[in-house]
C-alpha cells in the first residue's frame, strides 16, 4: 500500500526587509501527513534552491516545543489551530488534502520583520534585561528542603517559569500587549523567597521597559492565554498588577 500523501497550497508571506512591502506567495507541495509544518517549509526551500530562487527565511532551533523560536501565524492563529503546542509541533495530518494554508510572521509593532517569516523579538529580551533575574547574593546551593516554600506558590512559580518567550501572546493580542509574558517572568520570582528582596523594584522596571518598547495595554480578552503554547494563566497578570500598585507604596526606590 502506497503512503498517503497530502496535496496542499501554501500561501507564505514574503518580505525582503522591514522597509519593503510584503505579499503572500503561492507554493504547491505534496507531503506526508506525518511531516511537521517546519519540515514542509524545509521541502519548499529545497525546491526553491534547486530552481536557483531565494528560500523562505524562517526561524527554528529545538523543534521540540521548548525554545519558542519557531513561532508563526498559521491560518490566522499564532502557532496554528491546535492548543498548547508550538509551531514546530504542528503536523500536516491536522489539515485536509487540497487545503490552503496561510503562513505569516508574528505581527506587532515591537516585532519588526527582518525578512519573510523572521521577526526581531529582541524587545522581549530587553524586558528581561532590566528585571528578569535575581541579583542579590542568595548563597550557595541549599538542600532542597532547607527553605520552606508553600506548595501552591511553588506550583504557580513553576507554571509561570514554563513560559518560553515565543511572543505568541503578543501576536494574538489586538493591542500587541506583552502583559502575559512580563507577568509570567515577574511571577516566577515574586512567588519564591529568593525573589523577595527585589520584588517591587523588579516589577516597576519591567513594566516601564515594556511600555517604552511600544507594547500595547491589556484589555482582558484572554486571547493570550488561549494561544500560549504553555498555557500560561492570565492570573499572573493580576498578580503583576497588584505588585505594581503595591510597589508605589512599599518600594524604597520608585521607578517613574
- pLDDT of residue 1 exceeding 80, the answer is no
Alpha helices by DSSP H, the chain? 37-50, 122-131, 151-161, 168-172, 179-190, 199-212, 223-227, 235-250
Domain boundary among 114, 129, 153: 114
Instruction: Note whether residue 255 is domain-resident.
Output: no
Indicate whether 35 pLDDT > 80.
yes
- Give the residues across from 8 on adjacent strands: 29
pLDDT tens, residue by residue, 86-121: 999 999 999 999 999 999 999 999 999 999 999 999
Chain centroid to Cα 254, Å, comes to: 30
What pLDDT, on the 0 to 100 scale, is given for residue 186? 97
197 shares a domain with 143: yes
Residue where a domain terminates, one of 114, 135, 165 = 114
**Which CATH number do you get for residue 41?**
3.10.20.30
CATH of the domain at 162: 1.10.1060.10
Cell of 118: 523572521
Are 31 and 64 contained in the same domain? yes
203-219 residue pLDDT tens: 999 999 999 999 999 99
Task: Indicate if the pLDDT at residue 2 is higher than 60.
Answer: no
What whole-number distance in Å separates Cα of residue 231 and Cα of residue 222?
A: 11
Residues 125 and 81 in one domain: no
Cell output for 25: 506567495
User: pLDDT tens, 157-186?
Assistant: 999 999 999 999 999 999 999 999 999 999
For the purposes of burial, counting CB atoms within 10 Å of the CB of 146, is it exposed (0-12), middle (13-18) or buried (19 or more)? exposed
H/E element, 28: strand 23-31
- pLDDT at position 229 is 97
What local confidence, expressed as pLDDT, does residue 194 receive?
A: 86
The domain containing residue 63 runs over which residues? 6-114
> Which cell is 64 given?
521540540
pLDDT in tens, 4-26: 899 999 999 999 998 999 999 99
CA dist list (Å): 162 to 25, 49, 63, 137, 235: 35, 37, 16, 24, 14
Q: What is the pLDDT of residue 157?
A: 95
pLDDT in tens, 220-246: 999 999 999 999 999 999 999 999 999
Last residue of a domain, one of 59, 79, 114: 114
d(CA 7, CA 40): 11
Residue 110 DSSP code = T
Amino acid at each position: 500500500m502506497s503512503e498517503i500523501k497530502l496535496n496542499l497550497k501554501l500561501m507564505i508571506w514574503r518580505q525582503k526587509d522591514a522597509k519593503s512591502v510584503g505579499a503572500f506567495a503561492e507554493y504547491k507541495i505534496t507531503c506526508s501527513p506525518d511531516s511537521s509544518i517546519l519540515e514542509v517549509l524545509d521541502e519548499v526551500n529545497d525546491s526553491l534552491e534547486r530552481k536557483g530562487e531565494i528560500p523562505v527565511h524562517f526561524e527554528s532551533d529545538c523543534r521540540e516545543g521548548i525554545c519558542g523560536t519557531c513561532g508563526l501565524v498559521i491560518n490566522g492563529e499564532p502557532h496554528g489551530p491546535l492548543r498548547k503546542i508550538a509551531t514546530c509541533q504542528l503536523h500536516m495530518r491536522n489539515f485536509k488534502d487540497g487545503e490552503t494554508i496561510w503562513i505569516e510572521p508574528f505581527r506587532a509593532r515591537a516585532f519588526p520583520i527582518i525578512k519573510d517569516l523572521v521577526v526581531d523579538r529582541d524587545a522581549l529580551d530587553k524586558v528581561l534585561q532590566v528585571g528578569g533575574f535575581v541579583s542579590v547574593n542568595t548563597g550557595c546551593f541549599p538542600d532542597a528542603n532547607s527553605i520552606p516554600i508553600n506548595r501552591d506558590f511553588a506550583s504557580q512559580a513553576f507554571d509561570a517559569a514554563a513560559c518560553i518567550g515565543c511572543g505568541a501572546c503578543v501576536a494574538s493580542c489586538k493591542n500587541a500587549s506583552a502583559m502575559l509574558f512580563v507577568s509570567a517572568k515577574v511571577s516566577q520570582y515574586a512567588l519564591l523567597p529568593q525573589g523577595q528582596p527585589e520584588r517591587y523594584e523588579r516589577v516597576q522596571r519591567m513594566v516601564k521597559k515594556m511600555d517604552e518598547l511600544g507594547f500595547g495595554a491589556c484589555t482582558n480578552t484572554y486571547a493570550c492565554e488561549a494561544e500560549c503554547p504553555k498555557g500560561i494563566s492570565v492570573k499572573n497578570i493580576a498578580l503583576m498588577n497588584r505588585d505594581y500598585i503595591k510597589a508605589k507604596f512599599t518600594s524604597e526606590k520608585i521607578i517613574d
